[in-house]
Amino acid sequence: MKPFEQKLWLSSPTMHGDELRYVTEAYESNWMSTVGKNIDEVERIICEKLGCRYAVALGTGTAALHLAVKLAGVNPGDNVFCSDLTFGATVNPVRYEGGKAVFVDSERDTWNMDPAALEKAFELYPGVKVVVLAHLYGTPGKIDEIKAVCDKHGAVIVEDAAESLGATYKGRQTGTFGAYNCISFNGNKIITGSAGGMLLTDDVEAASKARKWSTQAREAAPWYQHEELGYNYRISNVIAGVVRGQLPYLEEHIALKKAIYLRYKEGFKDLPVTMNPYDGQNSEPNFWLSCLLIDEGAMCRQVRGESDALYVSEPGKSCPTEILETLAKFNAEGRPIWKPMHMQPIYRNNAFITREGNGRARTNAYIAGKCMDVGIDIFSRGLCLPSDNKMTPEQQNKVIEIVKRCFE
């Protein structure tokens, strides 16, 4: 088998032509700054599509999360419950505000925050007021169960729907369940503005605060008058033009991503692996990234340090490192699963809670050979496969073949 002539990407932007039209409109009308029709339209369309009252378009999803955390009222020293198995951008904004992230382990059914671990977290840290919840790889978490725990303890949810735009839970869009929520238009997300993000909320006051904070927090005065700390977080009308051009294609992208997921699932049916799971009864993911989880019994030995990895190849077995290295040899891009936040050196002193209690108190994440820490386990045995919209079935069949060979 020969390597792919053109690199096969994990998830690259897919443009359709309308983007250029709206960018050109911004250019020709000279609305090249942080005000303009493209911004108004993307905010209107997202509210209409997702069913939220207010959307504030910002430079990045991370900026949206930062403002969401501020709106939720996180103060210096506050503990905040956060998804553990996620991208760093989910949790860093808590630190921006001086809060302390307390990481909550994942469950196996959707790889998202475990409601039982969250309940345990409230037992150990009563009085926590904010929960930051991510929907990993486009798969909605157990929202009703999480919401029930939060309601019981009077906590507010900040939803990080950066990866799950267009995914639904019981027919309702992710990004509309929390009080203050985030979506992202980063370059590798399901649709993109090249960058960009949005804060979503049903609270009119919160939306207007976010607008004010994102544009340097000017007061209504003839000069630059400031009573609050401001940020330069607003989106550009040019970037919003790209987003506006992409929005009509969200459903098409989801359909393509779902076809990729299903083709992998079928292709791997005889291998000792499973795909990233979801609750088909209650949710419809956007299938942003297709991921593999290798059965415990089919893992060859693999050791990961802080910046490198080793493995010992074994017939009939494989590991994420071997598969990722093999894909790279064939010019295809995969990615490890997000390394859990509680394993990150920057967060090594933060608490980590599993459904059994304090996950840091254990001397060993493995008890009788079984990994007790769901996040570490998924990180160790899982990987993200090339999931690019533009991958042809023939290319994907070749990826499947490459993965199969790793298990020979």
Ligand X SMILES: *Cc1c(COP(=O)(O)O)cnc(C)c1O
Q: Is 94 or 162 the residue whose CB approaches ligand X more closely?
A: 162
Question: What is the DSSP pairing of strand 301-304 with strand 309-312?
Answer: antiparallel
Minimum CB distance to ligand X, residue 79 (Å) = 20
Compute the distance between CA of residue 150 and CA of residue 128 in angstroms, rounded to an integer: 10
Interface residues with ligand X (CB under 6 A)? 60-62, 86-87, 89-90, 134, 160, 162-163, 184, 186, 197
Minimum CB distance to ligand X, residue 186 (Å) = 3
Minimum CB distance to ligand X, residue 20 (Å) = 21
Q: Is 27 or 96 the residue whose CB approaches ligand X more closely?
A: 96
Minimum CB distance to ligand X, residue 87 (Å) = 4
Q: Is 78 or 160 the residue whose CB approaches ligand X more closely?
A: 160
Q: Is 62 or 380 the residue whose CB approaches ligand X more closely?
A: 62
Compute the distance between CA of residue 274 and CA of residue 214 in angstroms, rounded to an integer: 42
Compute the distance between CA of residue 90 and CA of residue 193 in angstroms, rounded to an integer: 20
Q: Identify the bridge partners of residue 101 per DSSP, sorted by sequence position.
A: 80
Residue 303: phi, psi to the nearest 5?
-125, 130
Minimum CB distance to ligand X, residue 188 (Å) = 8
Minimum CB distance to ligand X, residue 138 (Å) = 10
Q: Is 197 or 245 the residue whose CB approaches ligand X more closely?
A: 197
Minimum CB distance to ligand X, residue 175 (Å) = 12
Q: Is 287 or 330 the residue whose CB approaches ligand X more closely?
A: 287
Q: Is 160 or 373 the residue whose CB approaches ligand X more closely?
A: 160
Q: Is 90 or 321 the residue whose CB approaches ligand X more closely?
A: 90
Minimum CB distance to ligand X, residue 183 (Å) = 8
The CB-nearest residue to ligand X is 61
Minimum CB distance to ligand X, residue 263 (Å) = 23
Contact 130, 80 (CB under 8 A): yes
Contact 175, 164 (CB under 8 A): yes
Q: Is 286 or 302 the residue whose CB approaches ligand X more closely?
A: 286
Length of the chain: 408
Q: Is 283 or 318 the residue whose CB approaches ligand X more closely?
A: 283
Minimum CB distance to ligand X, residue 332 (Å) = 21
Q: Is 92 or 318 the residue whose CB approaches ligand X more closely?
A: 92
Q: Count the alpha carbons within 13 Å of 363 in the hemisphere toward its beta carbon.
A: 1
Minimum CB distance to ligand X, residue 364 (Å) = 29
